[in-house]
């Protein structure tokens, strides 16, 4: 069986094994999103067992997302050069190995290093999935498959805190917190089995692979390194690190001057990286990142929407969890239950989003993020009115609506962004989309988290979450306006 991975499936017939290939990608996405959030509820047990202090806890929680973001652009290019099947399956193996390392770590430092390596492996996997999906399925099914993709990603993000608490409480085989990492092993094994069976490396784009004349492995790697743009890879990693690191750790560290210096340095480094990529493309040399992608209105506007939305979404999860635990004294498990209707709504919204896209085109995104904005306002009003007597059942309706709005907006957004992207640029786009998500998430938590804790210090946690929810509702309303800049229909 052969199935194209990097090229767009333009033909109307569905490729054999495409749904199984999608299942492999969905399992990979589920693991990646799960690892971003599952560790939060396990941290008290981790800190007690490994004697981790506050800075060490922060590093263990955050280093995964940091290395993930910094690796994505290079990971996408490696998929172009080595073949998406090879990178996808090899990275899944590396992710499973890193999960074993996390689950057997004997110190906080070792666990942080293991989490960092897991983030790198996750980036290598994630940078291939969008290109794989767009290549496996014909254009007419992209809205459907990305709806499923969004549903799984949203479910994983919501399930992380709940599953983490359940696994720690179960203490299977006396492993306690270690099971939150070891659970990845069977999932990765299934994903690798599916990938090996249904993704064929022979169908990778021939114009981006090393030449077939390089028979010996050493010669092949020389060709890969020559085409990879090592300088660009280093600049992108350094620039993203200078940007994401202070955004991730700045608030917890009290925004010392060095964090602001690093943020300032990220601007010229990333600008120099962009200039270098432009020069390579002008010379006819394949760049690490195809900047011409941002010349397409759907991709450019979609990138702004992605960054802003994931900033709001990630900050929402973070601030709500802190508010109900620190402000109301709820347990981590009960705090997770607050967002359970959100997960249900997100899955339902994502799965039904293809219907809305068929009816209204990209205006379906406008409807989705408008519902999200109104629901956030309703949550803020409910919290303000109830105060310390707040009951989970009072929040169920607006939280469910917020999840549905997210599903209608976020699930079809990747398909809208990639609708006019030509085949040769799909790999680069596959790396840019999750990079933008990560940067937006870091920026959202940094800015809205600072507002939240500043307000909490001056008043109460409930007053702080009410203020931040209204700000989020306003930002979501602004996003609804921005969606009007998208092409009404995509091809």
d(CA 86, CA 247): 33
In the structure, what pLDDT confidence band is assigned to residue 400 with cuts at 50, 70 and 90?
A: very high
pLDDT of residue 491: 46
Q: Is the pLDDT of residue 261 over 80?
A: yes
Q: Is the pLDDT of residue 489 over 90?
A: no
Which residues are within 8 A (CB) of 13 and not within 5 positions of it... i.e. 6 or more apart?
Answer: 138
Asked whether the beta carbons of 172 and 182 are under 8 A apart, the reply is no
Q: Which of 168-172, 358-362, 373-377 has the lowest mean pLDDT?
A: 168-172
Nearest Cα residue to 81 out of 120, 131, 17, 10: 131
What is the average per-residue pLDDT within 240-262? 90
C-alpha triplet 155, 181, 251: angle, nearest 5°: 75
In the structure, what pLDDT confidence band is assigned to residue 419 with cuts at 50, 70 and 90?
A: confident
Q: Is the pLDDT of residue 201 over 70?
A: no
Nearest Cα residue to 135 out of 277, 18, 280, 300: 18
Q: Is the pLDDT of residue 185 over 70?
A: yes
pLDDT of residue 219: 60
SS3 for the chain, per residue? CCCCCCCCECCCCCCCCHHHHHHHHHHHHHHHHHHHHHHHHHHHHHHHHHCCCHHHHHHHHHHHHHHHHHHHHHHHHHHHHHCHHHHHHHHHHHHHHHHHHHHHCCCHHHHHHHHHHHHHHHHHHHHHHHHHHHHHCEHHHHHHHHHHHHHHHHHHHHHHHHHHHHHHHHCHHHCHHHHHHHCHHHHHHHHHHHHHHHCCHHHCCCCCCCCCCCCCHHHHHHHHHHHHCHHHHHHHHHHHHHHHHHHHHCCCCCCCHHHHHHHHHHHHHHHHHHHHHHHHHHCCCCCCCCHHHHHCHHHHHHHHHHHHHHHHHHHHHHHHHHHHHHHCCCCHHHHHHHCHHHHHHHHHHHHHHHHHHHHHCCHHHHHHHHHHHHHHHHHHHHHHHHHHHCCHHHHHHHHHHHHHHHHHHHCCHHHHHHCCCCHHHHHHHHHHHHHHHHHHHHHHHHHHHHHHHHHHHHCCHHHHHHHHHHHHHHHHHHHHHHHHHCCCCCC
Q: Which of 127-131, 177-181, 367-371 has the lowest mean pLDDT?
A: 127-131
pLDDT of residue 8: 45
Using alpha carbons, list the distances in angstroms from residue 365 to 70, 313, 359: 29, 15, 12
- Greater model confidence, 422 or 354: 354
In the structure, what pLDDT confidence band is assigned to residue 160 with cuts at 50, 70 and 90?
A: confident
Q: Is the pLDDT of residue 341 over 80?
A: yes
pLDDT of residue 85: 80
In the structure, what pLDDT confidence band is assigned to residue 215 with cuts at 50, 70 and 90?
A: low
- Greater model confidence, 427 or 68: 68
d(CA 172, CA 166): 10
Task: Output phi, psi for 12, to 5 deg.
Answer: -75, -25
Asked whether the beta carbons of 119 and 241 are under 8 A apart, the reply is no
Which residues are within 8 A (CB) of 81 and not within 5 positions of it... i.e. 6 or more apart?
Answer: 208, 209, 210, 224, 227, 228
Q: Which of 187-196, 320-329, 479-488 has the lowest mean pLDDT?
A: 320-329
Task: Output phi, psi for 286, to 5 deg.
Answer: -65, 120
pLDDT of residue 268: 96
pLDDT of residue 205: 39
Nearest Cα residue to 390 out of 323, 445, 332, 343: 323
- Greater model confidence, 178 or 158: 178
d(CA 348, CA 408): 9
What is the average per-residue pLDDT within 43-52? 86
d(CA 473, CA 384): 15
d(CA 278, CA 200): 32
pLDDT (tens digit, 9 = 90+) per residue, 67-76? 998 998 899 8
**Residue 138: CA count within 13 A, CB half-sphere:** 8
C-alpha triplet 435, 438, 444: angle, nearest 5°: 140
Q: Is the pLDDT of residue 383 over 90?
A: yes
Using alpha carbons, list the distances in angstroms from residue 162 to 140, 158, 316, 348, 349: 36, 8, 16, 19, 21
Q: What is the mean pLDDT of the chain?
A: 85
What is the average per-residue pLDDT within 284-290? 85
What is the average per-residue pLDDT within 232-253? 90
For the ranges 63-77, 174-188, 462-476, the maximum mean pLDDT occurs at 462-476
- The pTM of the full predicted model, rounded to 2 decimals, is 0.85
Percent of the chain with pLDDT over 70: 89
């Amino acid at each position: 069986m052969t199935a194209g991975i990097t090229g767009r499936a333009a033909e109307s017939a569905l490729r054999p094994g495409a749904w199984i290939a999608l299942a492999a990608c969905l399992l990979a996405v589920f693991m990646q999103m799960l690892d971003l959030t599952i560790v939060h509820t396990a941290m008290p047990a981790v800190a007690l067992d490994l004697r981790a202090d506050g800075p060490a806890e922060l590093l263990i929680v955050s280093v995964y997302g940091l290395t993930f973001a910094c690796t994505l652009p290079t990971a996408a290019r490696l998929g172009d050069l080595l073949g998406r099947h090879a990178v996808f399956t090899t990275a899944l193996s590396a992710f499973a190995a890193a999960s074993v390392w996390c689950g057997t770590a004997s110190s906080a430092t070792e666990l942080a290093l293991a989490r960092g390596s897991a983030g790198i492996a996750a980036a290598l996997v994630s940078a291939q999935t969008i290109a794989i999906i767009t290549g496996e399925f014909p254009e007419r099914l992209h809205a459907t498959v990305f709806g499923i993709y969004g549903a799984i990603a949203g479910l994983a993000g919501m399930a992380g805190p709940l599953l983490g608490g359940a696994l720690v409480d179960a203490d299977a085989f006396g492993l306690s917190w270690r099971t939150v990492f070891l659970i990845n092993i069977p999932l990765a094994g299934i994903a690798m089995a599916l990938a090996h069976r249904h993704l064929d490396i022979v169908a990778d784009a021939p114009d981006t692979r090393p030449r077939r004349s390089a028979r010996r492995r050493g010669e092949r790697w020389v060709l890969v390194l020559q085409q990879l743009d090592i300088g660009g890879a280093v600049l992108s990693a350094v620039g993203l690190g200078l940007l994401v690191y202070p955004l991730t750790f700045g608030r917890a560290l009290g925004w010392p001057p060095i964090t602001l210096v690093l943020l300032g340095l990220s601007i010229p480094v990333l600008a120099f990286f962009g200039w270098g990529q432009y020069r390579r493309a002008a010379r006819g040399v394949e760049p690490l990142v195809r900047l011409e992608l941002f010349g397409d209105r759907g991709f450019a506007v979609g990138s702004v929407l992605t960054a802003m939305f994931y900033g709001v979404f990630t900050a929402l999860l973070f601030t709500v969890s802190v508010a109900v635990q620190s402000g109301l004294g709820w347990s981590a498990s009960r705090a997770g239950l607050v967002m359970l209707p959100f997960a249900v709504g997100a899955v339902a919204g994502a799965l039904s989003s293809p219907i809305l896209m068929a009816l209204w085109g990209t205006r379906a995104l406008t409807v989705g993020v408008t519902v999200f904005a109104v629901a956030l306002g309703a949550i803020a009003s409910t919290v303000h009115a109830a105060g310390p007597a707040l009951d989970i059942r009072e929040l169920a309706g607006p939280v469910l609506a917020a999840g549905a709005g997210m599903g209608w907006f976020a699930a079809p957004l990747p398909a809208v962004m990639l609708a006019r992207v030509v085949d040769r640029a799909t790999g680069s786009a596959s790396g840019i989309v999750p990079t933008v998500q990560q940067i937006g998430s870091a920026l959202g938590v940094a800015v809205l988290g600072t507002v939240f804790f500043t307000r909490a210090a001056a008043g109460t946690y409930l007053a702080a979450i009410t203020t931040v929810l209204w700000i989020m509702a306003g930002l979501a309303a602004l996003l609804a306006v921005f969606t009007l800049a998208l092409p009404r229909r995509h091809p």
